[in-house]
Homo-oligomer: A and B are copies of this chain.
Amino acid sequence: MSQSAQKLRIALDAMGGDFAPANEVQGAVECLRQCNNRFHVVLVGDEPRIQAELQKLDAKGLELSIVHAPDVIDMHDSPVTSIKTKPNSSLVKGITMHKEGAVDAFVSPGNTGAVTAASTLILGRIPGVSRPTVAAIFPSEQGPTLIVDAGAVSDCRPQFLYEFGVMGSIYSEYMFKKKNPRVGLLNIGEEETKGNELAKETFKYISERKGTMNFTGNVEGRDILKGHVDVVVCDGFVGNVLLKFAESIPGYLKFQFKKFADKSILNKLMIGLLRGSLREIFKDMDYTEHGGIPLLGVNGVTIIGHGGSPPKAIKNMLFRAEEVVEYKINQHIQEKLRGQ
């Protein structure tokens, strides 16, 4: 294992996921092999356990290093308190390293709430941003659609939603190569008089600030998978409910296919024949493809993944972090929002 000062450096929270550190280590190894050591990965976590995982793999010559962080933050710890009480957790240590400039980005398949809170508290916000947002990537008939916010801020003000839209628009433009991304406000009707108080006020608020993004008006739940807009703006409560619902669809379909297959031998044969095709068809609904979702608005680069992330998802999260740094997403956000 070697280190290189010139290369981009990404800290990976090796203890964050449900299968830590095995999946994290394997994902990092696969990532560096695939990109020929294009960047350097710092595995942050329990060193002996990480070493044990590395022993199982062929990690020689890879741009990997380990920073020991033995404390563990679990689901029941308060994120805010943990930052003070567990400075040697992989989460707090990794983000602190990023804050101090030792790494260029931080990636974690840990608890979304904890990663968001720790990133916001330690890294701070980009000037002009009221609340950082967690974006979710939905599939659609017209490519990836971004949902902001997907869970960072439950109770929102119009200004927050407006900023989510601007940040989502920048992410969509650079990461998904969408030109002048269409931004829609999630609502329960197309007319501007529709919706709850927040939606009505937000429609007005954004309409008065149209210059900063391509706001196309209200969209409904049915417009998301159609890809009628590139960025869907909503509060974090609605977004999180939607995200978790959407993520449960493949499991439900699998259940239905299994029920059908169990009805007869012919059915079983048909489904068996189609297994590979079904996997391909449902590929877009698979979160491991995108890897992780970005935390936008913090003064640094944080990519959040699923607790259950397989190595492939970890690998893709590292690539996402690299892109966010390379495309200077944060700088673009600051330029658009500062002084608004």
Contact = CB atoms under 8 A, between A and B. Distances in A.
Interface of A: 113, 139-141, 151, 154-155, 186, 188-189, 195-197, 199, 220-226, 234-238, 240-249, 251-253, 255-257, 259-260, 267, 270-271, 273-274, 277, 280-282, 284
A188 B221 contact: no
A251 B257 CA distance: 17
A137 to B, nearest CB: 15
A267 B273 CA distance: 11
Contact of A248 (B155, B188, B225, B244): B225
Instruction: Enumerate the 4 nearest inter-chain pairs by beta-carbon distance, A residue then B residue, closest first.
Output: A221-B244, A221-B245, A154-B196, A225-B252
The A interface, classified by DSSP as helix, strand, loop or mixed, is helix
Contacts of A113: 189
Contact of A277 (B189, B199, B245, B260): B260
A220 B244 CA distance: 7
A90 B323 CA distance: 58
16 contacts: A113-B189, A139-B252, A141-B255, A154-B188, A188-B244, A195-B237, A196-B235, A196-B237, A220-B241, A221-B244, A249-B249, A257-B281, A259-B281, A260-B277, A267-B277, A270-B277
B274 A241 contact: no
Contacts of A225: 245, 248-249, 251-252
B277 A188 contact: no
Contacts of A195: 154, 237
Kindly name the residue among A188, A196, A259 whose own CB sees the greatest number of chain B CB atoms within 10 A.
Answer: A188
